[in-house]
């Protein structure tokens, strides 16, 4: 598709000396008020060079470029050149691009097949998959989809929390108070109960903490009984997690968790020692990071056991050597900011020039109305329960409103789960928020169901035209686009045109909400167009043009929803 900003920059370069087309393109703005044009060029920077006032320069430039067929009109207002695009030319370019690209509209090959690793979700084994995990899971999945859409070779890693002292606690709790039958019957409920029980009892008997540490040390050393219990807890947990991933339509290329790197940490410790980075502190081994205004990075504890930092360093080195990544992205809560700053700094001190290609993408926390969630104290909201409740509530609404759908259950799942995901991705990822059933299940306003309904409405218009989409696109090639040059149609086309830029921006900023916002705007604009314009009119030329725009809106909404991990119902 033509990049109109670049076209304008090239045109201005013919009139302005001393600045390149690229520099001039960067100066072109998009006014917030469409009454000031589709594009504007400020002339303040040219005043010193040309020795004229910015207003005079703007007037001269406007006169020189006004005859270009790209523009409907060009005006100078004070120091600005305001450019109004020729609507028919603009429409033809945008609609032809969507018709040509279809499901790939908005994609590009900017990634050049470079490897990008996206680590996300990463729940802890033997702990419940609760609402707090949804943030990493759906934000990470959207970021993976964005990078894949832009031509990167993406690898999805679920870095399971399947190692650490908590497994010593779980094994101790199982031995003291557990039984096999309960775990087989309801794995996550039983294991969660053991974890809560351990902390209740440890408050009364602190020796349990030492017993747990000793148990984990035996696990680290490969003790047969501890290893067998750990593998059992891991397998049962993965089966339960799989139910939620299936509901969300999420898959991974690797489930290599912390335990995968247990035999790779010796190399890290040796390397840290050989490079004189380790310092002993009260029996523990640390890396001093005071020079970088950070607290020490604790690498091993007094008893020699490793920590998260050791495993994350080992994982990063393995991934670089195994995948040779361009970027290694970690979608992990903002609580871990210092942890990531520390270990990435340590990797850099180890002499690995790719350290800064490891990028922590933080997000805000989810809390309950009465405070933060705590697995330790049994205060959690299960993610599977949230998804099931959203589906059931959607099913009730569909039946109550007699929604026209071919399969109530399928549509309820698409819309219910879509509502939950959209709610997560509708605001900036860094914001904290309080979990609310009312908000999750509110389908009014700028929500996932609203956007899905708009998609279904556009699909219905196309079906009612009595032709398949290929026929509509074929006829649209010769459509007279003067019929869709009015304000509501042009506003919709502008938003569709911006979609590829918003996709790229969302990937660059690791911010899926940019795509969410864009498809909400497109949905609202299409609904204005739908209400302002009768689409299925008698005039065939007019109908062809309006159907082509309807198709473009539908396709762009679909592409945006799929990038967010949300399915699109054809009927609602």
Catalytic residue positions, numbered? 127, 130, 133
Structure tokens at 563: 């990038």
Residue 275: exposed, middle, or buried by beta-carbon count in 10 A (0-12, 13-18, 19+)? exposed
Helix (H, G, I), strand (E, B) or coil at 457: helix
Q: Find out whether 77 and 29 touch, Cβ atoms under 8 Å.
A: no
Helix H or strand E segment including 51: none
Structure tokens at 525: 């604009």
**Cα 329 to chain centroid, rounded:** 12
Q: Could you tell me whether strands 366-368 and 371-372 are parallel, antiparallel, or unpaired per DSSP bridges?
A: antiparallel
DSSP code for 252: -
CA distance 89 to 407: 42
CA distance 537 to 108: 36
Structure tokens at 464: 């009612």
Q: Please report which residue ranges of 280-382 form alpha helices under DSSP H.
A: 308-323, 337-349
CA distance 200 to 227: 25
Question: What DSSP letter does each residue of 384-421 carry, written as one string?
Answer: HHHHHHHHHHHHHHHHHTT---S-HHHHHHHHHHHHHH
CA distance 31 to 37: 7
Phi, psi of 382, rounded to the nearest 5 degrees: -70, 135
Residue position matching structure tokens 């909201």: 381
Alpha-carbon distances, residue 5 vs 77, 353, 494 (angstroms) = 19, 36, 13
Residues paired with residue 155 on neighbouring β-strands, in sequence order? 117
Helix (H, G, I), strand (E, B) or coil at 448: helix
Helix H or strand E segment including 229: helix 224-248
What is the helix, strand, coil percentage profile of the chain, to 5? 60, 10, 30
In this structure, the number of other CB atoms found within 10 A of the CB of residue 438 comes to: 6
Q: Please report which residue ranges of 447-512 form alpha helices under DSSP H.
A: 448-464, 469-476, 487-508
Phi, psi of 113, rounded to the nearest 5 degrees: 65, 20
Half-sphere exposure of 315 (CA within 13 A, CB side): 27
Residues paired with residue 300 on neighbouring β-strands, in sequence order? 285, 306
CA distance 373 to 175: 27
DSSP code for 560: H
In this structure, the number of other CB atoms found within 10 A of the CB of residue 233 comes to: 23
The edge-to-edge listing of strands for the beta sheet with 80-85 is 39-42, 80-85, 71-77
């Amino acid at each position: 598709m033509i990049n109109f900003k670049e076209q304008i920059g090239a045109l201005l370069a013919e009139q302005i000396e001393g600045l390149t087309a690229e520099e001039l393109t960067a100066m072109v703005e998009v006014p917030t008020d469409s009454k000031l044009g589709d594009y504007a060029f400020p002339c303040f920077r040219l005043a010193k060079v040309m020795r004229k006032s910015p207003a005079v320069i703007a007037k001269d430039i406007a006169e020189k470029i006004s005859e270009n067929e790209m523009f409907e009109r060009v005006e100078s207002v004070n120091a600005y050149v305001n450019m109004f695009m020729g609507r028919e030319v603009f429409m033809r370019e945008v609609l032809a691009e969507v018709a040509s690209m279809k499901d790939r509209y908005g994609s590009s090959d900017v990634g050049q097949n470079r490897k990008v690793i996206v680590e996300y979700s990463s729940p802890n084994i033997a702990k419940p998959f609760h609402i707090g995990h949804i943030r990493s899971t759906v934000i990470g999945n959207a970021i993976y989809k964005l990078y894949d859409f832009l031509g990167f070779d993406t690898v999805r890693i679920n870095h399971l929390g399947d190692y650490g002292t908590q497994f010593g606690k779980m094994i101790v709790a199982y031995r003291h108070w557990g039984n096999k039958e309960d775990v087989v019957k309801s794995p996550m409920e039983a294991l969660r109960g053991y974890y809560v029980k351990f902390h209740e009892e440890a408050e009364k008997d602190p020796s349990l903490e030492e017993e747990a540490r000793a148990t984990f040390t035996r696990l680290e050393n490969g003790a047969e009984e501890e290893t067998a219990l750990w593998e059992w807890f891991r397998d049962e947990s993965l089966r339960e997690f799989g139910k939620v991933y299936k509901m969300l339509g999420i898959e991974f290329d690797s489930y290599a968790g912390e335990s995968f790197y247990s035999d790779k940490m010796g190399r890290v410790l040796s390397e840290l020692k050989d490079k004189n980075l380790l310092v002993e502190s009260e029996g523990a081994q640390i890396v001093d990071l005071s020079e970088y205004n950070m607290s020490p990075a604790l690498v091993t504890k007094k008893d020699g056991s490793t920590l998260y930092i050791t495993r994350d360093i080992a994982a990063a080195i393995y991934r670089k050597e195994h995948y040779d990544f361009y970027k290694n992205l970690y979608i992990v809560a903002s609580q871990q900011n210092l942890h990531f700053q520390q270990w990435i700094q340590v990797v850099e001190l180890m002499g690995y020039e790719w350290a800064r290609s490891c990028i922590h993408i933080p997000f805000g926390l989810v809390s309950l109305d009465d405070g933060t969630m705590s697995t330790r104290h049994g205060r959690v909201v299960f993610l599977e329960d949230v998804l099931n409740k959203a589906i059931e509530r959607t099913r009730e609404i569909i039946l109550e409103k007699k929604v026209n759908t071919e399969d109530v259950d399928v549509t309820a799942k698409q819309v219910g789960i879509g509502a939950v995901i959209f709610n997560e991705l509708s605001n900036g990822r860094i914001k904290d928020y309080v979990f609310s059933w009312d908000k999750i299940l509110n389908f009014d306003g700028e929500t996932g169901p609203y956007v899905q309904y708009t998609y279904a409405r556009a699909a219905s218009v196309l079906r009612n035209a009595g032709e398949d989409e290929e026929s509509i696109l074929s006829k649209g090639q010769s459509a007279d686009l003067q019929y869709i040059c009015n304000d509501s149609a042009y506003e919709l086309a502008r938003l569709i045109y911006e979609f590829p830029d918003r996709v790229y921006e969302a990937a660059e900023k690791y911010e899926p909400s940019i795509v969410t916002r864009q498809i909400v705007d497109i949905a609202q604009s299409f609904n204005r167009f739908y209400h302002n314009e009768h689409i299925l009119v008698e005039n065939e030329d007019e109908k062809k043009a309006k159907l082509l725009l309807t198709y473009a809106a539908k396709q762009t909404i679909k592409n945006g929803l799929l990038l967010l991990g949300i399915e699109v119902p054809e009927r609602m």
